[in-house]
Structure 1
Amino acid sequence: MLLNSKRIKRKPIHIETSRLILREFNKKDIDALFKLDSNPIVHEFLGKNPVKEKTESKKYIEDCIQKYESHSICRLAILEKESGNFIGWSGLRFIDDYTFNDHTNFYDVGYRLMPEYWNKGYATEAGKASVDYGFNILNIETIYGITEIDNVASHKALLKIGLNYVEDFEHTDGSTLRWYSIKNKNYE
C-alpha cells in the first residue's frame, strides 16, 4: 500500500568541475544550441549536416528532457563557470534508437563545443565528469564512445577521458567510425 500517492520528483542533474557547470537542457537553451549545431565547422566530423532550423534544436532539447525522465540521463548543457557562457554540451546518452557496431541499448559519452572553446581541455573535463556520474551515481557497467576515424581531436579526448580504443567499424551510412569503451571498476 502506498503511503503517499504523489510521484517523487526527480532531482535535476547538476555537475560541477573546476571550470564548468553541466546541467540539464531547458527551453531557454534553444538559441545557444542552434548557434552550436548550425555551425558547419562543428559538424565537420558529424556527417557535415548542420541543423537548418531552430525547430531542430527545440526537438533535440525536448528529446533530452524526455530522456532525463525515462533514462535518468541525457546530454547536458555546458556552461563556463568564469563567464557563465553556454559553450556546448556533454554527457551520457542512452542509445536505444540507433545501432552502432552491432550495439544498441548502451550508454555513450559525447561532447560538442563551440569552436572558440576547442583546445582548452573542456571536452575532456566534461567527459570525465560525465563518466564519473555514470559510474558513481547511475552505476552503469560500461560506457562507450564513438568518433569518426579522421577526428583526431575527439580520439585524443576520449582517450584522456579514460576510454580505450577498441576497433574501427563501418557504419550503416558508409563512414568509418572508431569504437571505444570503459568499464566501471565496481564491476571488475
Structure 2
Amino acid sequence: MNLILETDRLILRELKQSDAEAFFAMDSNPKVHEYLWNKPVQTIEETIEVIEFVRKQYLENGIGRFAITSKETNEFIGWAGLKYNTEPVNNKTNFYDIGYRLDEKFWGKGIATEASFAWLKYAFETMNIKTIEAAAHSENTASNKILQKIGMQMTETYLEDSVSWNWYSLENSK
C-alpha cells in the first residue's frame, strides 16, 4: 500500500517489519494489555507474526492497522486504523472497525483521538464506508472516552468470555 495519512503531529503509515522491536516493547507491556485479555506478547516472533498478519490484511482488504509515528522524532508510538472484520465480533461479520493501541509513554496526549479522526475522515471521504464500528472494554475509561470524543455512539453492551464490552457505531453523514 502506498497510503500515508498525516495529522498535525503524526504520520500514519503501513506497519513494517522494521517496527517489530518498538511494537514488541509496546505489546509486551502488561499495562497495555490490561483491557485486552491480559495476554501481552512474550516473544518478538509473536510480534513479527502480528505484523505479517496485518500486512496480509492490506493485500486482502485494502486496509488495516497502520503504524503511528511522531512527525517530530519519527518514533513509533503505536498503531491505529481501520480493519475489515470477516470473523464474528458481537455476532457481527463483514464490517469495518476503528481501533488503536499506544505505547504507555504516549497515553493521555490525545494521540489516539488525533489518529482516529484522521482515519474516520479517510473511511468516510475516501473509502465511502457507510458505518464504522468499534468495541471497548466496559471498564476501559480512556478508550471509551476516545470513542465518544470522535463521535461514536454506544449502541449496546455485550459479553465475550464473561467480559463486558461496549459496542459503538458511527454512520457516514455524506
How would you bin the TM-score normalised by the shorter chain? Answer: over 0.9
Out of 153, 163, 168, the residue aligned to residue 180 of structure 1 is 168
Q: State the Cα distance separating 1:95 from its structure 2 match.
A: 1.1
Q: Which residue of 2 aligns with 1:117?
A: 106
Out of 57, 63, 72, the residue aligned to residue 73 of structure 1 is 63
Cα distance in 2 for partners of 1:159, 1:147 equals 11
Moved segments of 4+, more than 2 Å:
none
Out of 113, 122, 133, the residue aligned to residue 133 of structure 1 is 122
Q: State the Cα distance separating 1:135 from its structure 2 match.
A: 1.1
Whichever residue aligns with residue 185 of structure 1, its letter is S
**Contact 1:90–1:109 at 8 Å: present in 2 too?**
yes
For normalisation by structure 2, the TM-score amounts to 0.97
Cα distance in 1 for partners of 2:25, 2:93 equals 30
Q: State the Cα distance separating 1:24 from its structure 2 match.
A: 0.4
Q: Gaps (5+ residues) in structure 2?
A: none
Q: Which residue of 2 aligns with 1:161?
A: 150
Q: State the Cα distance separating 1:75 from its structure 2 match.
A: 0.2
1:145-160 to 2 correspondences below 5 Å: 145-160=134-149
Cα distance in 2 for partners of 1:178, 1:100 equals 12
CA RMSD of aligned residues (A): 0.9
State the aligned residue count. 174
Larger Rg: 1
Cα distance in 1 for partners of 2:142, 2:84 equals 23
Cα distance in 1 for partners of 2:16, 2:2 equals 11
**Contact 1:128–1:162 at 8 Å: present in 2 too?**
no
Cα distance in 1 for partners of 2:96, 2:58 equals 13
Q: State the Cα distance separating 1:63 from its structure 2 match.
A: 1.1
Q: State the Cα distance separating 1:123 from its structure 2 match.
A: 0.5
- Identical aligned pairs, as a percentage? 43
Alignment of 1:82 onto 2:69: no
Alignment of 1:105 onto 2:108: no
Cα distance in 1 for partners of 2:128, 2:45 equals 34
